[in-house]
Amino acid sequence: MNATRSTSRTVIGIVLTALMLFPVYWMVNVSLMRTGDMRRDPPYLFPLHPTFSGYRAVLRDQLPYLGTSLAIGIGTVALTLAVSAPAAYSLAKLRPTGGKSLTFILLMAQMIPGIIMAMGFYSIFLNVGIINTWWGLIIADSTLAVPFGVLIFTAFMSGIPDELMQAAKLDGAGSWRTFTSIVLPVSRNPVVTVSLFAFLWGWSDFIFASTLNSGGSMQPITLGIYKYIGNNNQEWNSIMATAVVASIPAAFLLVVAQRYVAAGVTAGAVKD
């Protein structure tokens, strides 16, 4: 009975996984199709006559957008870690007055729709002269990642034994030295988790990009795909090839960092 139940659950899991991954498969399939094959009814389930013209178009037209997205993603990670890790250390170990209220505010900030924040940023960026800049997008994307980062880091750092803090203090280390020499080195899992999500937010952002950088000279890949669809709405193999290439960094990072993410997002969930 247990073996039958386990087999049925495995089959159900495989079917559900196949259904969820089918759009990804179809994206890859269409990216390899010739233009004439896309109009076939019924369509080919496999690329029987594959072509790489779409990927050649990606290398020709989309590389600048990919480079900008990479810069935005890395910049978002750097700014998010620089702000969220020290803030979380303060909340978890230094316990300032009003820390619980600040944590609640961070939770509320996570619930604000991105389009509302984009409208506010547009007015601010326009006044300070950083509209249509790629580094302005780094600042905007970091506002999504920093609250998440603070919450993840706080949950993990709260579980670090206070004895480590006391030992560092007895050795003459101040708060900043304790943070950089003791707390940060043992926070590998949340660092990887926050870095991954911050990069994905910066890499995949469309709302901030279309609102704050629609006329800039350096635009991310999300705007590149959007413009490509508008200008070449019949070249679906090139459009899907662009989507495949844009998905590779995110998929690779998720696979590589899966173990750290699983540990990072559950940090602080179990108390001794």
Query: Which residue from 192, 175, 187 is spatially nearest to 93, judged by alpha carbons?
Result: 175
Looking at residue 202, its pLDDT comes to 93
194 shares a domain with 69: yes
Number of domain units in the chain = 2
Task: Provide the pLDDT confidence category of residue 231 given band limits of 50, 70 and 90.
Answer: low
155 is in which domain, residue-wise?
62-265
211 in the same domain as 127: yes
Copy the structure tokens of residue 1: 């009975």
151 with 30, same domain: the answer is: no
Phi and psi for 73 in degrees, rounded to 5?
-65, -45
- How many Cα atoms within 13 Å fall on the side-chain side of residue 261? 11
Question: Quick check: 102 pLDDT over 90?
Answer: no
Global pTM reads 0.84
Confidence of residue 34 (pLDDT cuts 50, 70, 90): confident
Residue type, 21: L
Beta carbons within 8 Å of 170's beta carbon, 6+ residues apart: none
Distance CA 133, CA 212 (A): 8
CA 265 – CA 135 distance, rounded (Å): 28
Q: Who contacts 228 (Cβ-Cβ below 8 Å, separation ≥6)?
A: 61, 62, 238, 239, 242
Same domain, 14 and 122: no
